[in-house]
Amino acid sequence: MVAENIPCNNYLWTGDFDLQLGIEFYTSSRTSKLGQVESLAEMGLLINLPQAISLGVLLFSIVLLFHNWRDSRKLHFTTMVIILAALGVNAIINYPLSVARFWVFGFLISLMWTFSPLCHAVWRAAFAVSFTLMQFTVFPLYSQITRGKGAIGFDIDSIRQYLHHGDFDGFQSIVNISLYIQDNGFELGRNLISAVLFFVPRAIWNKAEPLGTAAANHMGYIYTNLSAPIYGEFYADYGLLSLILGMGIVGYGIRRYDIYYNNCARTKRFGVGVLITGVLAGYLIILLRGSLLAVVPSIATLIGLLLIVGWLAKRTGKWSHIKFYHG
């Protein structure tokens, strides 16, 4: 759909329908909210971009307040005002009961890894076990609530039924992607480049669809908001060559960040680099699950905002004695 976006009172006129924006829109259930947008561009501009910006401001403000308190045992008034304002905005834009689970829990995990370094193997194992158990308890409950369907039970039958849920579509998604590539040929870089250049408007460049959606459409599914595990994303471009190279780069990058995080935790250095590492840890699972083009824009915007605000804080002296990124 190509149409002019002309603000009109409380509506955004797109030429075909009226989309009501405001508190009711952002605090409605996910199903209701997503049902009101008609394209990925609208979802990005009206939902993902505001969510990333408001969450980034809140996250950085919390970290800055913690940093100031740790160094001077003072709570800076300006920072506290910004946090209160950010909390108010996030209570609407990132209303916890109307956003995706990965967005809420990614934020909480980011805070945990930023403020409570889990350097000991025992604590990391405990976190892994706890997170696994949450997959069968907290996650399905939260999903039901955010979709406006109420709570579910936690008995054995409920867990058994949940194992057949779309959240565990990874293996079938790989089969779908393989058949999609078999019938249409490799993407020849277009898939991953589209994820990297997500900010380029489709009017300028015909980007690829999210791979999970493209594969689901190819299979004739009615519901197409499916995952595309990252190894499927790599395979889609150049086959086994890009798969091996891509997974090698991912593994190397995670290892480097883990070493960096441990070094900072051991020496008690605290800067934007630790914050970015915490964010990557918080959202790593959804990045590995994909589709990349569906999740990268929000996470990349969040990280980009943190880098920009961190750079400004350093330039203005707020974090002048803290190493900016790597140290």
What is each CA distance from 126 to 79, 119, 121, 129, 221, in whole angstroms? 34, 12, 9, 5, 38
Tell me: pLDDT of 7 over 60. no
Q: Does residue 225 sit in helix, strand or coil?
A: coil
Mean pLDDT of 72-80: 73
Interatomic CA distance for residues 164 and 166, integer angstroms: 7
What is each CA distance from 291 to 17, 89, 98, 146, in whole angstroms? 28, 28, 20, 21
Tell me: pLDDT of 306 over 60. yes
How confident is residue 26, by pLDDT bands cut at 50, 70 and 90?
Answer: confident
Tell me: pLDDT of 146 over 90. no
Strand order across the beta sheet in which 18-20 lies: 6-8, 11-13, 18-20
- Note the pLDDT tens digit of each residue in 177-187: 888 898 888 88
Res 248: pLDDT: 93
Tell me: pLDDT of 263 over 90. no
Higher pLDDT, 23 or 246: 246
What does pTM read for this prediction? 0.75
Helix pair angle (292-315, 101-115), 10° resolution: 40
